[in-house]
Amino acid sequence: MTVAPKMPGDERRNLIRQWLMESSHPIKGSDLAGKTNVSRQVIVGDISLLKAMNEPIIATSQGYMYLKAEEKQAPHTHLIVSNHSPEDTMDELFTIVDHGVTVKNVIVEHPIYGDLTASLLLSTRKEVEEFLQKLETTNAALLSTLTEGIHLHTLEARSKDQIENACRELQQKGYLLS
């Protein structure tokens, strides 16, 4: 079996940028590593270098995405403050995506580091299930465990009504802080 030679860094980063720009879905770091014959850690470094060059790449729970111009600003966004137990996470996220709303991120306020933000980009029940499965299999903790359940989400939707309906239901379930 012949092993392909490692690709030079600049060439690899250009290819990664191109693949991300052309993809309509997130691409896992391990997939990029396999395509370029380097370790996933090298890909993490490449992504960091691309971000430092102002490439609009974000890391989500599903992989890396290149933000196209139309994705940089959603038609309607709203920041909510939630408070619930980890056991209610699935219900909170399902409630949001069931209204056609995307959960763009989660934000917590850390006493030392300040605001910690993680990209989520969850739009469907399937994406929520995959996110929660990944949490379970990696033994990772929700960021909200750092703040006794208090966290923020940036919500995005095509219409303001979708966000308002999701927020109304979240309020009825007792998940929103007023």
pLDDT in tens, 43-90: 989 998 898 888 998 888 788 989 876 554 558 999 999 999 999 999
Cα-based torsion angle of the residue sequence 152, 158, 159, 165 in order, rounded to the nearest 10 degrees: -50
- Give the pLDDT confidence of 97-123 residue by residue, as tens digits: 999 999 999 999 988 888 999 999 999
Q: Does the annotation flag 151 for ligand binding? A: yes
Give the integer Cα–Cα distance in Å for 152 and 120: 12
Domains of the chain (ranges, CATH numbers): 9-69 (1.10.10.10), 74-172 (3.30.1340.20)
Encoded tokens for 40: 């996933």
Report whether pLDDT(3) > 60.
no
What is the identity of the amino acid at 127? E
Give me the pLDDT at residue 111, please: 82
Q: What's the predicted TM-score (pTM) here?
A: 0.71
76 is in an annotated binding site: no
pLDDT of residue 170: 97
Strand bridging mode 150-157 / 114-122: unpaired
Task: Name residues whose C-beta falls within 8 Å of residue 125's C-beta, 6 or more positions apart in sequence.
Answer: 94, 97, 98
Element holding 104 (H helix, E strand): strand 102-110
Q: What is the pLDDT of residues 118-144, one digit of tens each?
A: 999 999 999 999 999 999 999 999 988
Q: At what angle do helices 9-22 and 29-36 cross, to 10 degrees?
A: 130
Does 153 belong to an annotated binding site? yes
* Higher per-residue pLDDT: 155 or 26: 155
pLDDT given at position 61: 76
| Dist CA 100 CA 74 (whole Å) | 13
Helices (H), 24-172: 29-36, 40-52, 69-72, 89-97, 125-138, 160-172
Per-residue pLDDT at 1 exceeds 80: no
Residue 92 labeled ligand binder = yes
